[in-house]
Amino acid sequence: MRKRWRWLPACLLAIAPSAWAQAGPDSDAILRALARPVPAATPFVEVRESPMLKSPLRLEGEYRRPDAGTLVREVRKPYVETTTLRDGQATLARAGKPERRFALSRAPELAALQNSFGALLAGDATALRAHYTLDAQGTRERWALRLVPRDRKLAARLRDLVLYGSGDELHCIVTTPAKGDAQRTLMGSAAEAATRAGETADIAALCRDGDIAG
């Protein structure tokens, strides 16, 4: 069950353009750019690699935040599945199967991520630092922000999250578990570019550089 929820860090970091006065990489400025009023939605393309898979698993869909306390992850390809996070509960709906519900408190690492949700939506660097150490690198035109969990239980599952972007736009989130392969999640225009390109998309380049063609 835990592998299913490896997408959660990514969904908490959906981004929209906002004012950025910093000339270089600054974690506070990057986090301010993460703040986005609700309702909001952003497309995503997620690629998972594993020795257990003959080829990488590619998921396409959309993250939606209908209100400040709700997050919806809607997978549209290669299957249809909707996951809703609200009030500390997770609800999983998939065609042809009974709806599943469970409390996020059952998984300490998910509870910690849920606590970070409000901080990310508000662009609150102080609150986010309660859960992660932050390290920004690069330039305004090409920046990276690394988040390393402080909580031991979370760190036992998650090594780090690295956000890649340029200016006010987030291109990609790389989620690296404590064990196993990293997972790339393209967001916004980078996800749209990957969808247009289909199976020929260079996921690594889009993650690093975004949709250069614009």
Q: What is the pLDDT of residues 139-188, one digit of tens each?
A: 878 889 899 999 888 898 889 989 898 877 888 989 899 998 899 999 99
pLDDT over threshold 90, residue 2: no
Strands in 105-151 per DSSP E: 132-138, 143-149
SS3 assignment, position 19: coil
> Torsion over CA of 111, 117, 119 and 121, rounded to 10 degrees?
180
The Cα–Cα gap between 64 and 98 comes to: 22
The backbone region for 27, taken as left when phi is positive above 0, alpha when psi lies in -120 to 50, beta otherwise, is alpha
For the domain spanning 2-209, the CATH number is 2.50.20.10
Closest CA to 12 of 143, 158, 140, 198: 158
The Cα–Cα gap between 66 and 125 comes to: 23
Closest CA to 63 of 85, 33, 48: 85
The pLDDT, as a whole number, for residue 210 is 82
| pTM, 2 dp | 0.82
The pLDDT confidence band at residue 4, using thresholds 50, 70 and 90, is low
Closest CA to 75 of 88, 67, 57, 63: 63
pLDDT over threshold 60, residue 5: no
For residues 212 and 67, the answer to whether their CB atoms sit within 8 Å is: no
Indicate the residue type of 58: R
